[in-house]
Structure 1
Amino acid sequence: MKKKIIHKLVYTYETCVSLDEHLICLKPRSNNFQKLNNFQLKIFPSSHSVFPLISENGDDMFKVFFTGDTNSLTINAESDIETKFHPDLCYLKNNYDLSLPLKIESNTSLTGFVKGWFPNGQHDPAAIKIAQEALAGTKNNILDFLDQLIELIKERVKYTPRHLGPAWTSGRTLSERVGSCRDLAILLMETCRCVGIPSRFVSGYQFMDQPPEKYELHAWTEVFIPGFGWRGFDPSSCGLINHNYVSIASSSSKSELVAPVRGSFFGPSNLKSKLEWSIEII
C-alpha cells in the first residue's frame, strides 16, 4: 500500500521569541514492513540549520538550531511510504522456545527492554496483577499470553483520545478505566515486561478504511518474540498490527522521547503560544 503523509505543525507566539534548539521526530522508519521512498522536511523561519542524528533505538531524528527572533515556527514533513504485508504469527513456523519466561539472558541488547517502567526500575503492581491474570490458562506460551492480555486490556479500559500530557502509569490507566493510545501502549509494554518479554513504546500513524475528520499520531507497543523479532501490537485497536500502520520511532522508557517536536523558546514571562497541526494521508 502506497501513501503520502503530510504532517504540518504551526506554533505561533503573541510576540517575537528566540527559539532554542528543537528535536524533530517525524521521519518514518524504513524496514521489512515499510519502505520510505521519499522524505522532505521544511522548516520556517529559514534562519536555521539542521543536524541529523540517530536515536538510541536507531530511529532518525533532526536537531534544529535557530538564529534571530520570530513570532512563528512552521514544521512540514512529507513522507512517501509503502507498507508491506504483516504475516500472521500463528501460521509461521518457529523452532524457537516461546514459553515464558523467555530465555533472553544471552542477548544483552534486550535486557534494557524488560526493566520496570518506574524510575527505580520496579514494575507497577497493577501491571503485575493483570499479567498474572493473563497467564492463567495460557500454558505459558507468549503468543497465547499476548492474545489473552490484549483482550483483558480491552475489557477493562475504554480507549479515549487525550491530546495533552505524558502517558499515564499502568495503575492510573487501569483505575481510571479509560486511556489514550499512549496510555494503553505503556500498559501493554509494562505488563509484558512483568513476565520478562522485551517491549517498547512506538509512535506512528494508523491508516483508516474510512478516514476520520482529523488524523492524529498514534501509539502502540512493539514486542520482541524469539524467531519473529520485533512485532507491533495495538491494544487500542486490532491487536497484532497490519499494513495500515507506519512506525516513526520507539522508546524503551518514556513516551515523551518520541514526541514529534521537542524544544523551547526564550521570551517575556507569561507569554502565550498556540499550536495548530494537521495530518493528511493520501
Structure 2
Amino acid sequence: MRYEIIHTTSYAYNRAVTFDPHVLRLRSRNDCTQTLHDFHLQIAPEPIRISDIIDLEGNDLVKVWFDQTSDRLEFTVKSEVETFRRDPFNFLLEPWAVRLPIDYPEPLRTQLHCYLHPLGTPSTVDPVVAQLAHEIWQDVAGSTTAFVCELNQRLHENCRHQVRETGPPLEASVTWTQKQGSCRDVAVLFMETCRVMGLAARFVSGYQQGNPNWKRRHLHAWVEVYFPGGGWRGYDPTQGMAVGDRHVALVASAIPKQAAPISGTFRGSAVRSQMNAHLSIKVLDGDDGGGVGASDSLNLHQATEREIYEILHSKGTAKKEIQAAIEAIAYWQDGDRELTWKNLKQSTKSGKHKVKGFGKKTYKLLQELAFLREA
C-alpha cells in the first residue's frame, strides 16, 4: 500500500510566547515493513535551526530551535509512505519461546531489558493488570501467540473507544477498571499486560488507514511485541487486529512519552493555549479501504485458526460464528476431504454437512476475504 499523508498540528496562544526547543516525532520510519519515499516539513514561525536526530531506540526525530516570540505555532508534515507487511503471521517462534513465560537467553535478555519491565518508578506489577494477564495465560494454556491474540481481542471487545486528543496515557489498571480509553490508553494496557507475562513489548505512534469516509482522523497508537523468531510484530487492540500494511509507524519506544508526536514547552505569564490537528490520509496505490486489501486476504489452505479468527473478527463477526467457521473449515481439511467453496457451502445451515452456527452470511464474507481452489 502507498499513502500520501498530510498532518498539521497548530497551537494558538492568547498572547505572544517564547518557544523552547521542540522535538518532532513525525517522520515515518524506514525498515523492512515500510519505506518513506518523500518527506516535507513546514514550520511557522520559521526556526533558526533544524537538526535531524536518531534517538536511543533508532527513531528518526527532528529538533528545532526558535529565536522569536509568537502567538501561534504550526507544524505541517507531508509524507509519502509505502507499506509491505501483507501477512503479519509469516514467522515461526523459536522452540524455547512457544510458551510463557519466556526464558530469554543472553544477550537477548539484556537487549530487551527496557521492554520487559512495567512502567513507573519504582517498576512494580499492578495487581489489576497481573490478574488480567494470568486469566488469559490460563485460558490459552500458556501459548505465547495465543496469549497475544486473545489479549488483543479481549481488550477490543471490552474497552469502549474514546477520543482524547491531549494528555498522557492513563495507567493500565485505570483503563481496564473503567473498560474504556483512547487508543494510547488501551495500547499501554496491552503493553503492560504483555510485560507482566515476561513478553517484551513497546508503544508505537503512527497512522492507521481506517475508513476513507471518516470525516475526521486522528493520530493512532498500538503495540509491537517482540517474538523470538519473528522480531517486532504489531497488534492494534483498538481495532482488534494484527498490524499489516494498513498501519504506518512513526516511532516506537519502551516509554510512551518518548513516542509523543511533538514535545516542547513555551514561556510566558497568564497564557492560555489551544491545540488543533488535521490529518489527511490518501491511498495512492492499493485498496482504498472500501474493499478487501492485501492485509485482509487469506489463503484458507494454509491459514491457522488464529489467522481466521483475526480476519473475521476484524470484520465484526461474532465469536460463536467465527468458531463455527473454524470448525467447518477444519472438517473439510481433515483426512481425504477437499476444502473448496463448493464443499464448504455444504457446512452452512442448509447444507448436507452443516455445522451449527455457520451461516451463509459468514460463508459469503469468507468468499470476499479468502482464497480457495475452485471445485
Q: Write out per-residue CA displacement over residues 148-183 of structure 1, whole angstroms, 9 at most, x where no aligned residue.
A: 222222333212222232111111011111111001
* Contact 1:200/1:250 (<8 A) preserved: yes
Q: Write out per-residue CA displacement over residues 189-229 of structure 1, whole angstroms, 9 at most, x where no aligned residue.
A: 00000110000111000001433111100000100001000
Q: Secondary structure at the match of 2:113?
A: helix
**Partner AA of 1:2 in structure 2:** R
User: CA 1:211 to 1:55, structure 2 compared with 1: closer, same or farther past 3 Å?
Assistant: farther
Partner of 1:168: 170
Q: Secondary structure at the match of 1:136?
A: helix
Partner of 2:272: 272
Q: 2:132 aligns with which of 126, 130, 140?
A: 130
Task: Give the unaligned 5+ runs of structure 1.
Answer: none
Question: Which whole-Å CA distance do the structure 2 matches of 1:207 and 1:270 have between them?
Answer: 40
Q: CA deviation at 1:51?
A: 1.5
User: Deviating runs (4+, > 6 A) in structure 1?
Assistant: none
* Contact 2:20/2:264 (<8 A) preserved: yes
Superposition RMSD in Å: 1.5
Q: Write out per-residue CA displacement over residues 17-58 of structure 1, whole angstroms, 9 at most, x where no aligned residue.
A: 211111111001111111111111111112421111112211
Partner of 1:109: 111
Question: More deviation in 158-167 or 219-228?
Answer: 158-167
Q: Secondary structure at the match of 2:123?
A: coil
User: CA 1:218 to 1:94, structure 2 compared with 1: closer, same or farther past 3 Å?
Assistant: same
User: CA 1:244 to 1:211, structure 2 compared with 1: closer, same or farther past 3 Å?
Assistant: farther
Partner of 1:43: 43
Question: Which whole-Å CA distance do the structure 1 matches of 2:202 and 2:94 have between them?
Answer: 24
* Contact 2:153/2:240 (<8 A) preserved: no
Partner of 1:258: 259
Q: CA deviation at 1:130?
A: 0.4
How many pairs are equivalent? 279
Partner of 2:95: 96
Task: Give the unaligned 5+ runs of structure 2.
Answer: 283-375
Q: CA deviation at 1:14?
A: 2.0
User: CA 1:122 to 1:95, structure 2 compared with 1: closer, same or farther past 3 Å?
Assistant: closer
User: CA 1:238 to 1:151, structure 2 compared with 1: closer, same or farther past 3 Å?
Assistant: closer
* Contact 2:28/2:251 (<8 A) preserved: yes
Question: Which whole-Å CA distance do the structure 1 matches of 2:25 and 2:47 have between them?
Answer: 20
TM-score, scaled relative to structure 1: 0.94
**Partner AA of 1:68 in structure 2:** Q
Say which structure, 1 or 2, has more relative contact order (CA 8 Å, 6+ apart).
Answer: 1
Q: Write out per-residue CA displacement over residues 227-257 of structure 1, whole angstroms, 9 at most, x where no aligned residue.
A: 000000011113211111001011212x222
**Partner AA of 1:41 in structure 2:** L
User: CA 1:215 to 1:62, structure 2 compared with 1: closer, same or farther past 3 Å?
Assistant: same
Q: 1:181 aligns with which of 168, 177, 183?
A: 183
The answer as to 2:142 corresponding to 1:140 is yes
* Contact 2:94/2:228 (<8 A) preserved: no
Q: Secondary structure at the match of 1:236?
A: coil
Partner of 1:14: 14
**Partner AA of 1:271 in structure 2:** V
TM-score, scaled relative to structure 2: 0.71
**Partner AA of 1:257 in structure 2:** Q
More strand by share: 1
Q: Secondary structure at the match of 1:53?
A: strand
Partner of 1:63: 63
Q: Secondary structure at the match of 2:62?
A: strand
Question: Which whole-Å CA distance do the structure 1 matches of 2:56 and 2:198 have between them?
Answer: 21
**Structure with max Cα Rg:** 2
Q: CA deviation at 1:85?
A: 2.9
